[in-house]
C-alpha cells in the first residue's frame, strides 16, 4: 500500500480541480489581456475564480486578492515592499516576525537586515506558538510591519492571529500573516480578524503548484514586486496563468465548503493515528495540544530514533512522511521548531511529521500504524542511545559542540 502523509509539503490535485483546469490549456488558451474573443473567452472563468477566492476567505469587495506564483512570492512582496514604502521612503525601521516562520519569511528578513532593517524574531512558548502579549511588548513606534504565520508547517500549531491583528490595529502597524498552512485546513474569515496582508498557496489545499495569492486589505498601497504590464490592475505583472487561477479558485472552493465537516473527518483519522502511536510505543511524544493544531498534523518525536533513519524505513514501507530534522535535507541542523519549544537536542533530531488530507483513508491509517511501530522497533534495536546497554567503561559520549 502506498500512503502519502506529507500533505503539509504539498497535496494531490483534486481530480475536480484538474478537470476544471483542462479546457484552459487546450480550448480557451487566449491571453486574457487580448482584446479579441480568444482572450476574452477566459474572462468568465477568471472572474469565477476571483469570486471563489473572495468567498472562501470572506474578503470584502474593497480588498484585493492578487494572484502570484506562490506564497514565497507573496511573502517576499509584502516584506520587500514594506521595506521600500515604509522604511526606505518612510520613517520606520523595524519589522517583527517569529523564530519559526517559513524560510521565505525568515530569509527575506535576514536579507532586509543586511540592508539595515531592524528585525525582531519572537520566540515561541512550549506549545510552539508566539503568544499575543509577547508581540505587544516588542512593537515600537518604529515598527513598520508584523509578520506572523497563521499555522506552523511542522507542528500545525495555530497562532493567535485574531489577537495579534487587534494589537497591530491598535498600534497602527501593518499586519501580515502567512496563511499557507491555515487556508483550507481551518476556517479563515477575514471579517473576523484584522489582517492587512495574507499569503496563500494553492498546492497546499489540493490545487496546482505554481500559483498563490496575496490578500491586501482595503487595497493598501504596496510597491509591486514585479514591474511590467498592467496585469491585475498593475499590482502584479506577468500574463495571467489562467488554468492555474481557475484551478486555485476551484480548489479553495472545494477546500473551504463545509470545512467544519471536513475538519472533523480528518481530525478523527489524525487522532486515531496519534492515539495508536502513543499507546503502542514507549518514549514518544507529540508536539502541541490537539485542540490548537490544524486537524491534519502530527509532529511526533521518538526517543532513540534519528529522523532520517525513520524516514528511510517509512519510505521503504511506501509511506511518504517528512522531517525537518538533521539529515533529512542537506541541512544537518536539528529541527528548529523542536528546539524552540524546548525539546532537548537529541529529541530535536527525531521529529517525524505526519500530515493527512481529506483523501487519507482509514485503511491507510491502519497501515501507517503497523509500519511505523515496526520501523521504530527495528531502529531502536540498532540505536546506541535507546538500547538498554551496559555503561561505557571509557566514560560518557562526547559532548555535542553543535552551533545554534
Partner 1 sequence: MAKNDLLGGSLWDQYSNKVTTLMNNPHNQGEITQEECDADGYKLIVADFGAESCGDAVRLYWAVDPKTDTIVKSKFKSFGCGTAIASSDMMAELCIGKTVQDAVKITNIDVEKALRDDPETPAVPPQKMHCSVMAYDVIKKAAGLYLGVDESSFEDEIIVCECARVSLGTLREVIKLNDLKTIEQVTDYTKAGGFCKSCIKPGGHEAREYYLVDILADVRAEMDQEKMRAAADAGSHGDFEAMTLVQKIKAIDSVIDESIRQFLIMDGGNMEVIDIKDSPDYIDVYIRYLGACNGCASSSTGTLYAIEATLKEKLSQKIRVLPI
Residues of this chain that interact with partner 1 (CB under 8 A) are 304-309, 312, 315-316, 325-327, 329-330, 332-334, 344-346, 349, 381-387, 389-390, 392-403
Catalytic pick among 70, 109, 168, 327:
327
Q: What's the closest the beta carbon of residue 339 comes to partner 1, in angstroms?
A: 10
Contact 340, 286 (CB under 8 A): no
- Separation of alpha carbons 181 and 335, rounded Å: 18
Q: What's the closest the beta carbon of residue 402 comes to partner 1, in angstroms?
A: 5
Cell matching residue 174: 501593518
Question: Which residues partner with 200 through β-bridges?
Answer: 213
Q: 137 or 384: whose CB is closer to partner 1?
A: 384
The DSSP-derived string for 268-316 is HHHHHHHHHHHHHSSSEEESS-GGGB-TTEEEEEETT--HHHHHHHHHH
Q: 244 or 386: whose CB is closer to partner 1?
A: 386
Residues contacting residue 35 through CB under 8 Å, at least 6 positions apart = none
Element (H, E) at 119: strand 118-122
Query: What DSSP designation does 150 have?
Result: S
Q: What's the closest the beta carbon of residue 162 comes to partner 1, in angstroms?
A: 37
Q: What's the closest the beta carbon of residue 377 comes to partner 1, in angstroms?
A: 13
Q: 318 or 382: whose CB is closer to partner 1?
A: 382
Q: What's the closest the beta carbon of residue 403 comes to partner 1, in angstroms?
A: 6
Q: Is 327 a catalytic residue?
A: yes
Would you give the end-to-end CA distance of the chain in angstroms?
A: 39
Q: What's the closest the beta carbon of residue 320 comes to partner 1, in angstroms?
A: 12
Polymer length in residues for the chain: 404
The DSSP-derived string for 67-118 is EES-HHHHHHHHHHHHIIIIIITSS--EEEEETT--HHHHHHHHHHHHTT-E
How far is the CA of 400 from the CAs of 63, 254, 342, 392, 403, in angstroms? 51, 48, 17, 17, 9
Q: 213 or 305: whose CB is closer to partner 1?
A: 305
Q: 10 or 383: whose CB is closer to partner 1?
A: 383
Cell matching residue 16: 475536480
Which of 343, 330, 247, 270 has the alpha carbon at shortest distance from 302?
Answer: 343
Contact 207, 250 (CB under 8 A): yes
Q: 36 or 396: whose CB is closer to partner 1?
A: 396
Residues designated catalytic: 327
Amino acid at each position: 500500500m502506498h500512503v502519502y502523509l506529507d500533505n503539509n509539503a504539498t497535496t494531490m490535485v483534486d481530480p475536480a480541480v484538474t478537470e476544471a483546469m483542462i479546457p484552459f490549456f487546450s480550448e480557451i488558451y487566449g491571453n486574457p489581456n487580448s482584446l479579441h474573443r480568444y482572450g476574452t473567452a477566459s474572462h468568465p472563468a477568471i472572474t469565477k475564480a476571483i469570486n471563489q477566492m473572495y468567498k472562501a476567505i470572506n474578503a470584502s469587495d474593497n480588498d484585493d486578492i492578487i494572484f502570484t506564483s506562490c506564497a514565497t512570492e507573496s511573502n517576499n512582496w509584502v516584506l520587500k515592499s514594506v521595506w521600500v514604502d515604509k522604511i526606505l521612503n518612510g520613517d520606520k525601521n523595524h519589522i517583527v516576525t517569529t523564530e519559526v516562520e517559513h524560510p521565505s519569511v525568515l530569509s527575506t528578513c535576514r536579507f532586509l537586515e543586511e540592508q539595515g532593517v531592524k528585525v525582531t524574531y519572537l520566540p515561541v512558548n512550549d506549545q510552539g506558538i508566539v503568544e499575543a502579549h509577547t508581540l505587544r511588548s516588542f512593537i515600537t513606534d518604529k515598527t513598520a510591519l508584523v509578520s506572523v504565520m497563521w499555522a506552523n508547517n511542522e507542528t500545525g500549531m495555530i497562532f493567535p492571529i485574531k489577537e495579534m491583528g487587534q494589537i497591530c490595529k491598535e498600534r497602527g502597524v501593518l499586519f501580515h500573516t502567512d496563511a499557507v498552512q491555515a487556508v483550507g485546513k481551518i476556517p479563515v474569515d477575514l471579517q473576523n480578524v484584522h489582517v492587512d496582508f495574507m499569503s496563500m498557496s494553492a498546492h497546499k489545499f489540493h490545487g496546482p503548484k505554481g500559483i498563490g495569492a496575496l490578500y491586501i486589505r482595503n487595497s493598501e498601497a504596496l510597491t509591486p514586486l514585479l514591474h511590467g504590464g498592467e496585469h491585475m490592475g498593475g499590482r502584479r505583472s506577468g500574463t495571467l496563468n489562467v488554468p492555474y487561477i481557475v484551478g486555485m479558485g476551484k480548489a479553495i472552493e472545494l477546500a473551504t465548503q463545509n470545512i467544519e465537516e471536513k475538519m472533523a473527518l480528518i481530525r478523527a483519522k489524525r487522532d486515531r493515528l496519534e492515539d495508536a502511536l502513543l499507546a503502542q510505543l514507549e518514549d514518544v511524544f507529540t508536539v502541541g495540544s490537539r485542540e490548537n493544531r490544524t486537524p491534519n498534523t502530527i509532529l511526533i518525536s521518538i526517543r532513540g530514533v534519528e529522523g532520517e533513519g525513520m524516514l528511510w524505513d517509512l519510505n521503504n514501507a511506501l509511506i511518504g512522511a517528512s522531517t525537518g530534522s538533521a539529515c533529512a535535507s542537506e541541512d544537518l541542523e536539528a529541527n528548529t521548531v523542536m528546539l524552540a519549544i524546548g525539546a532537548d537536542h537529541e529529541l530535536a533530531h527525531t521529529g517525524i511529521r505526519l500530515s493527512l488530507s481529506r483523501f487519507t483513508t482509514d485503511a491507510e491509517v491502519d497501515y501507517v500504524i503497523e509500519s511505523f511501530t515496526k520501523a521504530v522497533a527495528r531502529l531502536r534495536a540498532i540505536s546506541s542511545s535507546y538500547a538498554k546497554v551496559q555503561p561505557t567503561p571509557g566514560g560518557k559520549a562526547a559532548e555535542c559542540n553543535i552551533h545554534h
